[in-house]
Structure 1
């Protein structure tokens, strides 16, 4: 299957959002709570979780600190989720 850069971007954005949502919920935080802890507005957290916005490197570090996780671990989990989503996408298109 040939994927466009746009498709890859959507998958990585969705993967980041999925991981961010899971970590936020694991910490018992609402989007507003994570926003308070990180200094971002809850609507920005929502946009990240829905894959509508891509985080900057600074945002990744700030959110990692708020979630008490190393930035490298956050990125590692996003990478794993990308593979999961790609497998799901590939299996669904067979």
Structure 2
């Protein structure tokens, strides 16, 4: 069976990305600022928010930290 591309818009990726976007907007943080605070490229963060990128654990933790949240809180918002 072929391995799916990371840009497949899997429901879990879309849900997590929507949770990141909602938390970012609720906190009044721009995408560029969140990318800077979490130490990742803005275009990569955008792909995460759109559910196109299957981010690694360290990136997810850094995003949560930059939002002053735990990863568990972000996962709860995403209903994952």
TM-score in same-fold range (> 0.5): yes
| Residue 62 of structure 2 corresponds to residue 25 of structure 1 | no
Q: Which has the higher helix share?
A: 1
Could you say which residue in structure 1 is the equivalent of 2:67? 67
Partners of 1:66 and 1:23 lie apart in 2 by: 11
Equivalent residue, structure 1, for 2:34: 34
- The higher-RCO structure (CA 8 Å, 6+ apart) is 2
The separation in 2 between residues aligned to 1:51 and 1:72, in whole angstroms, is: 18
Q: Distance in 2 between matches of 1:67 and 1:78?
A: 15
List gaps (5 residues or longer) in structure 2: none
Q: Please report the TM-score for the alignment, with normalisation by the length of structure 2.
A: 0.82
Quote how far apart the aligned CAs of 1:65 are: 0.5
Q: Does 1:47 align with 2:47?
A: yes
Ranges of 4+ aligned residues in structure 1 off by more than 4 Å = none
Residue by residue over 1:15-65, the C-alpha shift from the partner in whole angstroms, topping out at 9 and shown as x without a partner, is 011101001111111110101111111101100011110121111111110
Query: Where does structure 1 lack aligned partners over 5 or more consecutive residues?
Result: 1-5, 81-94
**Is 1:76 aligned to 2:76, yes or no?**
yes
Pair member with larger Rg: 1
Cα RMSD after superposing both structures? 1.5
